[in-house]
Amino acid sequence: MLAAGLLLAAFLLFLVMRLRGQGDGEQVRVTVDGKTYGTYSLFEERKLCIRQESGTNVIRISGGTVWVEEADCPDGYCVRQGKIHRKNGTIVCLPHKLVIEVTGGGDGGQELQPDAVVH
């Protein structure tokens, strides 16, 4: 029962995420330690070398996909997560506090931003 319920919950969550992330993304946002490092077009060939005290990640944007080509983090998960291109697709390198996200870009990305924030 519990197994079925949890699996169902996981599947529904997955489905919701998939639907939200339908279609290919347009931009790549790279975040380091919670701060935006840069936003790049998914359709421009690019090689990013992000050097930090904790180590280096080499990110490659090519052919409408983005992936981590090389990294010296201890677990190597960021490289193994492979290529992403779907909207909301994410690659994480936990040891280097690096997050790569594919966003809708253009209008889609702007819509998510609030017009104003009142404190």
Partner 1 sequence: MGKKVATCAVLVALAMIFSYIEAILPIPFGVPGVKLGLANLVVVTGFYILRPGEVFLVSAVRILLSSLLFGNALSLLYSLAGGILSFFVMLGLKHVKGFSVAGVSLAGGVAHNIGQIAVAAWVVKNTAVLYYLPALTAAGVAAGLLMGILASRVLAVLRR
Q: Examine residue 98 and tell whether it contacts partner 1 (CB under 8 A).
A: yes
Candidates 45-53, 57-65, 78-86, 109-117 — which segment interacts with partner 1 by CB under 8 A? 78-86
Task: Describe the chain by its helix, strand, coil percentages, rounded to 5.
Answer: 25, 40, 35
64: left (phi over 0), alpha (psi -120 to 50) or beta: left
Structure token digits, residue 78:
């960021």
| Helix/strand/coil for 114 | coil
Q: How far is the CB of 110 from partner 1 (least distance, A)?
A: 18
Interacting residues with partner 1 (CB under 8 A): 2-3, 6-7, 9-11, 13-14, 17, 31, 33-34, 74-75, 77, 80-82, 88-90, 92, 94-95, 97-99, 101
